[in-house]
Amino acid sequence: MKNPFDEFYHVPSSSELLDIAFKRAMKSSAQVSKNAPIIIKAKKKESKRIKVAINALINRILNIIKHVPIIDDIPDFYKELACILVNIDELKLTLGKLNGILPVLSKIEREYLNKLNRIESPKEGDQLRRAAFGRISSIINKQNKNLEYLNNIRGRLREIPSIDYTTPCIVVAGYPNVGKSSIVKNISTNKKVEIQEYPFTTKKLALGHLAIEGRFDTIKIQIMDTPGILDRPISRRNSIELQAILALRLISDLILFIFDPTPASGYTVDSQIKLFKEIKENFTKEGKIEMIVVFNKKDLSSSSEIDYLKRKLSLRDEDLYLTNALTGENLDRIIDYLKNRYC
């Protein structure tokens, strides 16, 4: 499914909105007979300007509101991820405030059009239009904080990956700095994954795809890179970690758990094992979701470090994949497994 926030476009500031509306208004012209009295021309001209300005503002504000999906109507994955990334109650309140000024603008339009019908000189028409623009400016400027807020959060919401619920999704999980992003970059189409030598480089969910040639057709698999998770209670996990938890809970068809047997990640093997057991217990849906174990950083691992981790997990050589994600060593074995699983 396409990210429901994908059309949450740039939200203009109050000054941008007013500039667009007033420029359009001042360029507009009313259809009046050349022979009409000057006072009639003034009434028509200034009425048209007020109508055009208010109509432009109402349409643009409605467009802003329309392109923010109703949170309660979107799938659980997007709904819960949006709740992690932004304050949903504040978002709803902000949209409500914007919606609330629309009848006020319409009321100003009616009020000033009635006043224009009663003017006795063209000068009065110009004064009334200026007064109307002043009141409109005051109302829109009071919404500038709300407009800025919407524009600030839109980037976070638009970065949510679009998930295809009809296609298998492999979620890559593990502690920070164990090589998750390197593996995703090497086996999927997502080559923009940021990789650094320090933890918590990945701060959001990133999606790539893997096309596997089957006997009769091509199977497309989604590969989800997740931020690193620390072994600690859910109440202490930050918004970055909670994104990974959400992906494991709601969209994983298969979990690829990455271990670093060495001290290179900065985290102990025992803490990684505790996280592995937590995920296995809470997110595999009573064994319906399989977990594949990967020991990464093969080039840095000693045989004793690998043996220790195998003993702690009660694994044989055939129960795991020993890889070097930076060079791509043995990643073809993982791809072969996926081919056998899904083709």
Q: Is 170 helix (H, G, I), strand (E, B) or coil?
A: strand
Percentage of the chain lying above the pLDDT 90 cut: 71
Give per-residue pLDDT as tens, 50-61.
Answer: 999 999 999 999
Q: Residue 115 belongs to what domain range? A: 14-158
Q: Are residues 100 and 232 in the same domain?
A: no
> Pick from 94, 105, 99: which is nearest to 148 by CA?
94
Q: Are residues 49 and 102 in the same domain?
A: yes
Q: Are residues 213 and 332 in the same domain?
A: yes
Which of 138, 158, 178 finishes a domain?
Answer: 158
**Is residue 163 assigned to a domain?**
no
Sheet holding 320-322, edge to edge: 206-213, 218-225, 169-174, 254-259, 290-295, 320-322
**Is residue 128 assigned to a domain?**
yes
Q: Are residues 48 and 192 in the same domain?
A: no
Strands (E), 132-247: 169-174, 206-213, 218-225
Give the least confident one: 9-13, 35-39, 181-185.
35-39
**Is residue 129 assigned to a domain?**
yes
Give per-residue pLDDT as tens, 177-208.
Answer: 999 999 999 998 877 655 445 444 567 898 99
Which of 158, 193, 218 finishes a domain?
Answer: 158
Helix runs in 118-210, H state only: 122-141, 144-158, 180-187
Angle at 20 between CA 16 and CA 25, to 5 degrees: 145
**Is residue 48 assigned to a domain?**
yes
* CATH number for 52: 1.20.120.1190
Q: How many domains is the chain partitioned into structurally? A: 2
Question: Would you place residue 237 in the very low, low, confident or very high pLDDT band (cuts 50, 70, 90)?
Answer: confident
Q: Are residues 77 and 98 in the same domain?
A: yes
Which of 107, 124, 158 finishes a domain?
Answer: 158
**Is residue 164 assigned to a domain?**
no
**Is residue 8 assigned to a domain?**
no
Per the prediction, the chain carries an average pLDDT of: 90
The answer on pLDDT for 18 being more than 60 is: yes
Give per-residue pLDDT as tens, 84-122.
Answer: 999 999 999 999 999 999 999 999 999 999 999 999 899
Is the CB of residue 244 less than 8 Å from the CB of residue 230? no
Q: Are residues 96 and 193 in the same domain?
A: no
Q: Are residues 282 and 145 in the same domain?
A: no
Q: Are residues 90 and 61 in the same domain?
A: yes
**Is residue 3 assigned to a domain?**
no
Q: Are residues 295 and 337 in the same domain?
A: yes
**Is residue 243 assigned to a domain?**
yes
Q: Are residues 178 and 115 in the same domain?
A: no
* CATH number for 255: 3.40.50.300
Q: Are residues 233 and 308 in the same domain?
A: yes
> What distance in Å separates the CA atoms of residue 194 and residue 181, rounded to the nearest whole number?
7
Q: Are residues 117 and 177 in the same domain?
A: no
